[in-house]
Amino acid sequence: MSPLRKARLTLGLILAGVGIAGCATGGSSTSSSNTGVTLVQTNDVVQVSFDGKLFTEYHFRDVSRPFLYPILGANGEQFSRRWPQETVPDEEHDHPHHHALWWAHGDANGVDFWSEEKNAGRTVHQSFAELSSGKETGVLTTRNRWIAKDGKVIASDERTMRFYHPHGTERVMDFEVTVFASNGDLTLGDTKEGSMALRLAESMRLTKPDKQPGAGHIVNSAGVRDGETWGKRAEWCDYYGPVDGHTVGVAIFDHPSNPRHPTWWHVRDYGLFAANPFGLHDFEKKEKGAGNMKIPSGQSVTFRYRFLFHEGDTESAHVADQFSEYVKARK
């Protein structure tokens, strides 16, 4: 870990301990101690802590798109790959645009907001609509613009992350994004490159870099497993494997209110894990453009997801039951 990162983490924990946190217009007051869920804004991140213990940081300044990194479990496990944020041994350096946990799309009116190629667009943070701490829940709502290489604004979004105080070793986060056709008609194009995504820890991979079987496994709500899950539709998908000597997993829930539910899963054997309701050409071999989603000027579309970071495999974590509870609670 770099000295700068160590200093930033230390500062965040100190601030959390004395209860200092920012709150933008529209946000509620923050908690006055380091108990519960505490959100603290520093120069370029918002730190999210549970009872004073870091869970994640939201990176929003001078990045190609906002993202969450690291994602830490109850015992300090790193759920996500650490590169390109940090360089550590035994990690692949492929796909430099895979920044831990993020939402982005590879074709918005023809502009790529998924990769970091030379002509790709950028998702630029504009403001915080809410930044609040609480005993049981912390909320972070941000507003962003999608800006093409030539400076043209293609669209905008508002994304809300809700962090729930853990009971036991599980960590739960809801991620909601509303995409606005704020600058004319918007087409979210048919491509597999998107959209609600997480790049998992290297040790959780289904397949190792040398193409030998890894220790990870993938299961979806339809009972499909491992490599067969790519491009399949399901209400939820779970990816689990070893981290620091014990089994942990991440399940992503696709809310029934989402367009095209149940979504397709762009879930790769090398650890990319993404829900993508757009890539019909790739996933189902339909004609190009079959997955296009058109949003008329002035209108919007909303996507809702839940992340469940758990110990054990899919069955021991009762992922199916937890999805059912999620649907009941988040109607």
Tens digit of each residue's pLDDT (9 = 90 or more) over 228-267: 999 999 999 999 999 999 999 999 999 999 999 999 999 9
* Percent of the chain topping pLDDT 90: 85
Mean pLDDT, residues 104-115: 98
Average pLDDT estimate for 189-206: 97
The residue written with tokens 């550590």 in the block is 88
Q: Which residues pair with 47 in a beta bridge?
A: 40, 57
Which has more confidence, 6 or 75?
Answer: 75
User: Where are the strands (E) in 165-245, listed by range?
Assistant: 171-180, 186-188, 194-199, 217-220, 236-243
Residue type, 185: D
Q: How far apart are CA 145 and CA 157, in angstroms?
A: 6
- On the question of pLDDT at 305 being above 50, the answer is yes
Quote the pLDDT of residue 24: 40
* Both tokens assigned to 310: 């758990």
Residue with tokens 């831990």: 100
The single-letter code of the amino acid at 233 is: R
CATH 2.40.50 is the classification of domain 93-329? no
CA distances from 242 to 106, 125, 331 (A): 31, 35, 33
Q: Is the model's pLDDT at 16 over the cut of 60?
A: no
pTM higher than 0.85: yes
Task: Give the span between the Cα atoms of 212 and 207, in whole angstroms.
Answer: 6
Tokens of 261: 């539910």
- Rg of the chain's alpha carbons, rounded to an integer? 19
- pLDDT over 60 (residue 9): no
| Residues in CB range of 253: below 8 A, 6 or more apart | 235, 236, 305, 306, 307, 308, 322, 323, 326
Place of tokens 């048919």: 190
Is residue 14 scored above 90 in pLDDT?
Answer: no
Whole-angstrom Cα distance, residue 251 to residue 248? 10
What does DSSP say about strands 272-276 and 194-199: parallel, antiparallel, or unpaired? antiparallel
Cα distances (Å, whole numbers) of residue 239 to 60, 101, 129, 220, 302: 27, 14, 32, 9, 25
The per-residue pLDDT for range 63-73, each reduced to its tens digit, is 999 999 999 99
Any idea how long the chain is? 331
Q: Are 310 and 80 in contact (CB under 8 A)?
A: no
